[in-house]
Amino acid sequence: MKDAFTLVEVLVVTLLLSVIMAALYSVLVVGERGFRQDGYLLDLQQQARQCMEGMLREIRQARVSNITSLEPEEIEFRILNIDDQNKTAYIRYYKEADQIFREHPAGSTKLIGYNISYLNFTCVDETGNCTSCLSSPIFQIQLRASKSVGGQTYHFPTDTTLKGIVRLRN
């Protein structure tokens, strides 16, 4: 009567199935880790781009003469506030810790970006070199988003800064 498996055959099959299951598990773990990392990078990318686009949209409407304060991590400029009987109002963008805030009207702040590790406002000439805002109406914003999760730090962009360039009105 030879209808059953021997102990050696059962152990060999169990070993082979264990090796196959371990290989499948490691593939799933690597895939899940990559999926999570892509999610972190996507979040950083969305934050950086939304923050950049919002600032560029408003700064594009400013005139060179309306910039009242320009620091590497802060800008303030005047706008004409149509809602308030054409009175002059100020918009201020500034970085505090890893967050970017928009202040308008005065005293009212709104968080517009987080996980921002680098922010720089500068005026540049036609070749991209830093210059005085009085001599060039070209304005550049640089930012970089960073996030640390589980001992690993993620950056967007990964190897440089996100740059936005706008020509101010005359």
Domain ranges (residues) in the chain: 7-167
What pLDDT, on the 0 to 100 scale, is given for residue 70? 87
Residue matched to tokens 């928009």: 102
Which tens digits make up the pLDDT trace of 53-109? Answer: 999 998 888 888 888 888 899 999 888 766 666 677 889 999 999 999 999 888 899
Q: Are 135 and 122 in contact (CB under 8 A)?
A: no
Eight-state DSSP code of residue 150: T
Under DSSP, the state recorded for 160 is S
Distance CA 46, CA 80 (A): 30
In what helix (H) or strand (E) does residue 108 lie, and over which residues does it extend?
Answer: none
Nearest to 60 by CA among 158, 153, 138: 138
